[in-house]
Chain A
Amino acid sequence: AQTVTQSQPEMSVQEAETVTLSCTYDTSESNYYLFWYKQPPSRQMILVIRQEAYKQQNATENRFSVNFQKAAKSFSLKISDSQLGDTAMYFCAFMKPFNAGNNRKLIWGLGTSLAVNP
């Protein structure tokens, strides 16, 4: 069975600084998807970034980028130029690929609470 581990329950960073959130996972699959979702105080779950395991290039979305190390099963999220609006819970998640069927589901980490301080 797949598992996702986020070892940092809470983190804080100063506005405009850079912070990295860690995520490791365990799977025997060779192809899969990894996600970072953000849940601000409004509790709306927002997709931050997605990585396909078969792609060697790390995904980036503006100030958000990942360091995907497939052999190490590591998928960390880097937030550059942190903004107050980045304050949120961040969840790392794993999903099997399309050929695993319709009922494939997200396997979630426990989350990291990030506070961006002014």
Chain B
Amino acid sequence: GAVVSQHPSRVICKSGTSVKIECRSLDFQATTMFWYRQFPKKSLMLMATSNEGSKATYEQGVEKDKFLINHASLTLSTLTVTSAHPEDSSFYICSARGAGLAAETQYFGPGTRLLVL
């Protein structure tokens, strides 16, 4: 149980375009989802936290107009990188957490590798 999927696994886009990444909890209802960015051989950097039906809470230094997060249902959250630039190239990971006892553990998607040319 507790499977989280992410799509696409890899994407290449041109500078100035927008890219959407989907994160789905496949076998549980995710009341809270998290979006991370990870640089090679580094720890995870939390970008934002989203609760279903509410606006996302962004970490300090993360541009909310550039990284749009939507958590419209209990199984789906999306991250849209708008007007992408080469410096946005990175590995993006989502995680999800349920309610009750399942609220004590985050389960992670497999990640999305974004390359902006």
Contact = CB atoms under 8 A, between A and B. Distances in A.
The finding on whether chains A and B are genuine partners in a shared complex, rather than unrelated, reads: yes
Interface of A: 33, 35, 37, 42-47, 50, 52, 89, 91, 95, 97-98, 102-103, 105-106, 108-111, 113
A102 to B, nearest CB: 5
Contacts of A47: 105, 107
Contacts of A103: 32, 49, 51, 57
A95 B95 CA distance: 14
B111 A102 contact: no
Nearest to A42: B110
Contact size class for B?
Answer: 20 to 34
Contact of B111 (A43, A50, A109): A43
Interface in B93-112: 93, 95, 103-108, 110-111
Nearest to A50: B105
Interface stretch (B11-19, B21-29, B39-47, B79-87): B39-47
A109 B44 CA distance: 9
Contacts of B93: 43, 45
